[in-house]
Amino acid sequence: MTSQPPIAKRVPSERVHHGDTVVDEYAWLQNKDDPETIAYLEAENAYTEESTRHLSALRETMFDEIKLRTRETDLSVPARKGGFWYYTRTVEGKQYGIHCRRAVAIGEVEPPSTEDGAPLPGEEALIDGNELAEGKKFFALGTFDVSPDGRWLAYSTDFDGDERFTLRIKDLLSGEVLPDEVPNTFYGSAWSADGSTLFYLTVDEAWRPYRVWRHVRGTPTAQDEVVYEEPDERFWVGVDLTRSEKFIIIDVHSKVTSEVHVIPADQPLSPPRVIAPREQGVEYSVEHHGHRFLILHNRGAEDFALSYTSVDTPGADWTPLIEHEPGTRLLEVDAFARHMVISLRRQGLTGLRVMPFDGGPSYDIEFPEPLYSVGPDANPEYETATFRLHYGSLVTPESIYDCDLDTGQLTLRKQKEVLGGFDPARYEQHREWAVAEDGTRVPISLVCLRDTPRNGSAPLLLYGYGSYEHSMDPWFSIPRLSLVDRGVVFAVAHIRGGGEMGRHWYENGKMLAKKNTFTDFVACAEHLVKSGWTAADRVIARGGSAGGLLMGAVANMAPESFAGIVAQVPFVDPLTSILDPSLPLTVTEWEEWGNPLHDPEVYEYMKSYSPYENVADRPYPAILAVTSLNDTRVLYHEPAKWVARLRATAPGAKVLLKTEMGAGHGGPSGRYDAWKEEAFVNAWMLDLVGRSS
């Protein structure tokens, strides 16, 4: 162990684009197979451990608080599909869930009670993650797909964190795992109606899912056939079975364009048929209902509209079902035999609208809290009048409800239990509005202890993301309680680039408007200081992945606004990555960030905000960067290079790098390991704002 930070060697490497020469002294860290790279990362880990050794007791306390508040032995609410209830069970002391089912009893309508967390009588364990993960540093399930007849299970596993899965088939009648095995598959699969044929995905060298394969169960996988291959590197491919179990859906999409193909599920050897040929800038998705396909689309509808078309002639006219309503963003549609449920977003909040197919009046499901998040949960049955949803807020633990679609009545099936005397009345949530540089009002969601003083004395954690139209809707967190109970205000900045306020919110935070994301976040921090919620020297910013890019950008733009920054798997060297089309995801990302390889304007714009390119000799807030060696979405070397340049360029910067040596983009896979990681970050933040005792 050493009290001195590691010094990364400097090996100048030049690249030239659009007449601009860039020197990258730390490009050598991109070589994962170089022993010097691993040695450097391990030295950084040792330095981080030594630098935070004084927090070991606090880390243990943080971990214990998470553990004590969590019901470790528990069951999810069973969801019915065919003749079975499907659910996941966790067991105290075990890292991973056990995926189970139980036969539906004669006359049984209500899901079985799971209040005591005990296994259900007659339970059948389909997949035990703990058994599969034994002896492994990492474990994740990709596909988990039961055939329509309930006989066959397709599942896939990843033991490295690189999201390349090995697909297998299990006979649920005998318990036998078939010899049918396919490596390097992606998330997603679909069974034919009779369970004889399985459709699955594989990736190309750039980690892009681009091929749909057809496998006839029980035959050698070498005989599998490619059903669809997408040559355009901007597009990803997905595969699924409709809820009605009538069609295999092949979804082809870029960031801004969609194309859907279908195969009748009872004719799995049929060639795919396109619903509507791709049209640049037009996105659509497909749900099946009876004699028609429901089409959610943005053709002439920025916030999306809903139409339908004939199953027999889907390329013909699309008949409007829900007209475009600016300001109401339609997100998805779930079709059932007699109803459909539309997930939407309006005025910064999510919502659900029920629409009967018999012509009866539609209605919105109402919720009492001013800030909340709601969306569909597991709804595998087509012939049903019950819709399952999940609901939560900054103060309300995740709750599972069943909605009677005929009456709108909600039945609470389960609310995540928080042990240790949790009382939601101790907390309060607020909505604030910051004003950005261009006058745009930016929403902020906050939670704090009731009667928290507004005199600037409270520390505050400000979370942000702001990319891909991904919205950071209010959510409940057990680990967060350890912060809020110590007087920390938790706030979420709903900045542009996300989707909180509709499609325009996203459009105004991407490409050549990307800087709005960063200036919005700084405006939120400044507003919270001016409003008395906190003071600049008591604000910690936190974000991950593209939110890590946000962290790196605001560290350069407004370091005086933050006492500390937590950047998790941070995308802090975007220009280098987006210039290299051989890297995973790069070409697909050009419609999000622009194409700096061919467009000099995009190149200059990205260079002007790239965290790595803009490190300077200035005072920086304390920075904790967390990454994973096997991450295929944001490669580990981005934060490693960033930290090395910060140390060399701004010698006074207090910077720590922590690399998970056996994990991927989501960090450690086991729940206890994930809690330890969160405890580590929480302890670091509390120490920084003087709340470590």
Strand-pair category, 460-463 with 441-449: unpaired
* Side-chain half-sphere CA neighbours of 238 within 13 A: 15
Angle at 380 between CA 304 and CA 221, to 5 degrees: 100
Burial class (CB in 10 A: 0-12, 13-18, 19+), 621: buried
What gap in Å lies between CA 270 and CA 206, rounded to an integer? 29
Strand-pair category, 410-415 with 427-435: unpaired
* Side-chain half-sphere CA neighbours of 330 within 13 A: 28
Burial class (CB in 10 A: 0-12, 13-18, 19+), 44: buried
Q: Is 665 assigned a catalytic role?
A: yes
* First and final C-alpha spacing in the chain: 26
What gap in Å lies between CA 554 and CA 548, rounded to an integer? 10
- CB neighbours of residue 425 within 10 Å: 7
Dihedral sign of CA atoms 618, 624, 628, 629 in order? positive
Catalytic residue among 545, 561, 610, 669: 545
What gap in Å lies between CA 283 and CA 304, rounded to an integer? 9
Catalytic residue among 297, 339, 494, 665: 665
Angle at 465 between CA 522 and CA 416, to 5 degrees: 120
What gap in Å lies between CA 639 and CA 693, rounded to an integer? 30
3-class state of residue 260 by DSSP: strand
The candidate with the shortest Cα–Cα distance to 495, out of 443, 543, 541, is: 443
Q: Which amino acid would we find at residue 595?
A: N
DSSP one-letter string for 368-404:
-SSS-EEEE-----SS-SEEEEEEE-SSS--EEEEEE
Catalytic residue among 24, 631, 637, 669: 631
Q: Is 373 assigned a catalytic role?
A: no
Report which DSSP code applies to 632. Answer: S
CB–CB of 189/198 below 8 Å?
yes
- CB neighbours of residue 616 within 10 Å: 11
List Cβ<8 Å contacts ≥24 apart for 503-507.
Answer: 503/298, 503/302, 503/303, 503/304, 503/329, 503/469, 504/302, 505/469, 506/468, 506/469
3-class state of residue 323 by DSSP: coil
- Phi, psi (deg, nearest 5) at residue 571: -85, 70
- Phi, psi (deg, nearest 5) at residue 291: -90, 10
DSSP one-letter string for 86-130:
EEEEE-TT-SS-EEEEEEPPTT--SPPP-TT-PPPTT-EEEEEHH
Q: Is 545 assigned a catalytic role?
A: yes
The candidate with the shortest Cα–Cα distance to 324, out of 340, 308, 301, 344, is: 301
- CB neighbours of residue 462 within 10 Å: 26
> What positions carry a catalytic annotation?
545, 631, 665
